[in-house]
Structures are given as C-alpha cells and as structure tokens.
Amino acid sequence: MNILVIGTGYVGLVTGACLAEMGNHVTCIDNDKIKIKELKKIKLPIYEPGLEEIVKTNIHSNRLEFAVKIPSYISENTIIFIAVGTPSDNEGNADMSYVYQVAKDIGKKIDNYCVVVNKSTVPVGTGEKVEALVLEEIKKRNLKFDFDVVSNPEFLKEGDAIKDFNFPDRIIVGSESKKANQLLDHLYAPFSKKKSKIIFMSRRDSEMTKYAANSMLATKISFMNEISQICELTGVDIENVRKGIGSDSRIGYSFIYPGCGFGGSCFPKDLKALIQTAKNNSFNPVLLDSVQDRNIKQKKILFTKITSIFGQNLTGKTFSVWGLSFKPGTDDVREATSIIIIKSIIEKGGFINAYDPFATSNAKKEFNANQLEKIKFFNNEYEALINSNALVLITEWAQFRQPNFEMIIDHLKEPIIIDGRNQYDPIYLKSVGIDYFGIGRSNVKILNKN
Ligand code: NAD
C-alpha cells in the first residue's frame, strides 16, 4: 500500500518504519529540514531501541523515503497519517495548530480518494474539524471527490515502541466509513494475524479512548504515589503493599510502581487536555484534577528529601544525578522529573554531576547558561559520583539496577542514596553502610507531609 506519514517524530518515524517493514511503500514527511537531511543519511533524531536497523533496511529496499513536503501527486487510496505534536497550550488545551496546518496541506494536495488517518492524540471532535479543513482546500481548487478522515490513536511506549507497534494490545479505528475501515483492516492485517486486534468504533469514541487510556494509567501511578506518602507517615513499606495489591488479578502489577512522578510527552499533557475538555463542557473533573495535583507534588518529593537531609541551603553541596530521561529506554526529557529536581537544587546553591546513557544532549537544552555552569555532564555513572554528597537516582535505566555499591561508597563524599524509583533494597544498603531514602519505604526517617 502507499503510505504518507506527516510528522516524523517518535510516533511518525516508528509508524513509517514499521509499515515499510511489512512491505508498504512509505514516505515520511517532516517540515524540519535538518531532521529529514539527517534521516536520509540514516542519522536518527531520536533514540529508540531497534529503530535504526529497521530504518536502514527499508531505505535500502526503497520502501522508506523521507521528504520535507507532501508530494505533488498522491495516488488513489493512499493512506495519509497525521503524526505531528499536540503540545499543551497556555490553558492546558491541546494545541491543534500543527494538526490543522497539516490538514490544510493535505487538502491542497490530494485529488482523488485517500484516507487521512489521525495518529496524533487529539481532543474529541478533531476528526470533524480536520475533515472540514481538508474539504475547504479541495473546494478552493474546484475539485469534487470523496475522502475519509479516520481516528487511529497510537498507544506505543517510548523505549518499547517497535515492539508495541508490531505487537499491539489493540488497534483502535474510529470511522464510520466502510471503505476506510476496509483499507485500514487490510493495512493492519499483518499486525493482527494471531487474533483480531482491531476495534472499530466512531471517530469521537476513538479520540476519547486515547485520552481515557492515558488518564487511567496516570491515575494508577498517582494513586500509588499517594499511598506511598501515607506509608511514609505510618512506617509501612510501599513495596510490600505494591506486591500485595498487584497480586490481585483485578488490580494487576502494571503501572503501580511508586516513584518521583510521571513525565514524558504524553501523560502530563493528555491529562491536562482531558481536564480542559471536561471544563470546556462545564464539568468539574475532580478525580483527574487530583491525579494531576498528586503528580506535581510527587515531582518535588526528591527535592524535599534532599533539603530534609542537607538543609535548605545547599551551597557547596554536589548531587550526583543518575538518569535524565523521563523514563528508561528513551532520550526524551519532555516533562522529566530530573529537570525539576536539578533546577531546584541549583536554585538553593547546589551543584550537579549528571549522567544519562542517552538523554544528555536533550537535557542540556532544558537549562539556561547560568544553570549549565552548575551542571557537569559525565560519560560514566561512577565518575559522576566523585566529590558528590549524595546519589539521586531519577531514571531506572537497567544499568543502575544492580550497581557496584562498593564503588558508590568509595566515590561519594557521604554514603547517601536517594532513590526516586525504589530500585534498591534498604536492608541490604543499610548493611553495607549506605543511608538510603526511597519513596514510601518503612525505614525512611525523613517524612514529607506535603
Ligand atoms: P514529536 O514532537 O516527536 O514529532 C512531531 C513531528 O512533527 C516533529 O518532527 C515536527 O517537526 C513535525 N511537524 C510539525 N508540524 C509539521 C508540519 N506542518 N508538517 C510536517 N511535519 C511537522 O511528537 P511525537 O512524540 O511523535 O507525538 C506525535 C503525536 O503522537 C502527539 O499527538 C502525541 O501526543 C502522540 N503520541 C505520542 C507518543 C509518544 O510516546 N511520543 C505515543 C502515543 C501518541
């Protein structure tokens, strides 16, 4: 099949590469000229495990191309994916300007039946607006032909994106057009071989499904984070509670890890956008508001622990930060907790020795020149410990899970670990002489009543 993917970021590039891998002809389009120039040379703008190999193979097989503009001829039945960003605007609504611009660009180019598929996460009703914008442009050219606009939200996780795309739990197709549904059924058949993964529904239902899914996952995390705070105040180890409740098949183990708050390009902004959708419809979403509030507080918890241990004035103190990306497996630092903690430490006079296996260059862009003067970035996690007063673990990259504690003790000025992801065993650490501070662990002496 002939595919265009407009927006070649985390979602667009993975979608394009995986569809090309199945034998389709895909053109990935992005208005960032540098990105496209580099992609043509197989230099990927993002880190995503396994992606480079697929891009390489499919470029060499002439199934995957890159362009800065939508081609002037688009053949009949082409499937055109919109995969541009939908960041938060000042009020928390999804900023739809990129999606609408692309809709207009498509309307200016198509001149026979195509299916426009919205993969970006968009508020309910966007499908109708995209359809109107495409139609307006077609009418301006005095043309008349059918086209369809479908909602097909993406559920991949950064760090596992290839696996998630190739082996999805479900593929949501929001459309009432028989023709469009048949084309998408055909397109996704290779991903749905073992058992049918496609769930057809209306466009609006599909748009809401994406927001509901992300908000549900965010709710599970915030719920556990809230319980972890109560655990700290009551001498309970949240890790035992997690195992105890995860074993209940109605609850399950996924997304109940307590930690120092969720970040990334999706959960925070999608939660905000759903809250705004509710408010725009005169509904007060008390639960979603609380999920968001808990997360904002949770992102400050490690800093509260640091000031409880070292005092409010951190002048002359250095903190070794392990992990800058918002989660392991990605170089994405959008809404990452690391950025908030680092800025707070610097504001109180402290210094940072930071290490991340992939996210350093993205993280550097998040700080101003004054802040950057206070941060040293290292190529090795153990070197980042030297002369530091404590280790602060923020992102649970696999290589941090079983570190050499002897080296940690040896390199740190004081044997203190503040563990934002509950990676370490407090009893073992105590036995080797490390002062350990986790999230909601029974042995934590520093209580956060926030
Ligand atoms: P991204 O910022 O990584 O990529 C978006 C790309 O679109 C950029 O490369 C940008 O240059 C390009 N772009 C913007 N305007 C354009 C235009 N007019 N023409 C061509 N290209 C244009 O974004 P992303 O993380 O891939 O997210 C895209 C959408 O998918 C968002 O709505 C997001 O919420 C959703 N989503 C993201 C993830 C994820 O894990 N990142 C998962 C599921 C859904």
List, for residues 23-52, the tens digit of each pLDDT value: 999 999 999 999 999 999 999 999 999 999
266 is catalytic: yes
The closest alpha carbon to 324, from 340, 309, 336, belongs to: 336
Distance CA(268)–CA(262), nearest Å, equals 7
Distance CA(265)–CA(262), nearest Å, equals 10
pLDDT beyond 60 at 446: no
The percentage of the chain sitting over the pLDDT mark of 70, rounded to a whole number, equals: 98
Q: Whose CA is nearest to atom 38 of ligand 1?
A: 11
pLDDT tens per residue, range 245-268: 999 999 999 999 999 999 998 999
SS3 334: coil
Task: Fill in the DSSP letter of residue 22.
Answer: T
pLDDT beyond 90 at 194: no
SS3 122: coil
**pLDDT of res. 447:** 37
Pocket of ligand 1 (CB under 6 A): 6-12, 29-32, 35, 83-86, 98, 101-102, 120-121, 154, 156, 158, 265-266
Alpha carbon of 289 to ligand 1 centroid (Å): 25
Alpha carbon of 67 to ligand 1 centroid (Å): 16
**pLDDT of res. 444:** 46
- Sheet (strand 435-437) strand order: 375-378, 351-355, 318-322, 390-393, 416-419, 435-437
pLDDT beyond 50 at 344: yes
Ligand 1 atom at shortest distance from the alpha carbon of 266: 34
**pLDDT of res. 443:** 54
Split at pLDDT 50, 70, 90, the class of 449 is very low
Q: Name residues whose C-beta falls within 8 Å of residue 205's C-beta, 6 or more positions apart in sequence.
A: 174
pTM of the model: 0.94
Ligand 1 atom at shortest distance from the alpha carbon of 12: 26
Alpha carbon of 91 to ligand 1 centroid (Å): 20
Q: What is the mean pLDDT of residues 309-322?
A: 97
Q: Name residues whose C-beta falls within 8 Å of residue 103's C-beta, 6 or more positions apart in sequence.
A: 82, 116, 129, 130, 133, 134
Active-site choice (28, 114, 231, 266): 266
Mutate to test the pocket of ligand 1, among 8, 11, 272 (most ligand atoms within 8 A of CB): 11
* pLDDT, mean over the chain: 96
Split at pLDDT 50, 70, 90, the class of 68 is very high
Ligand 1 atom at shortest distance from the alpha carbon of 155: 43
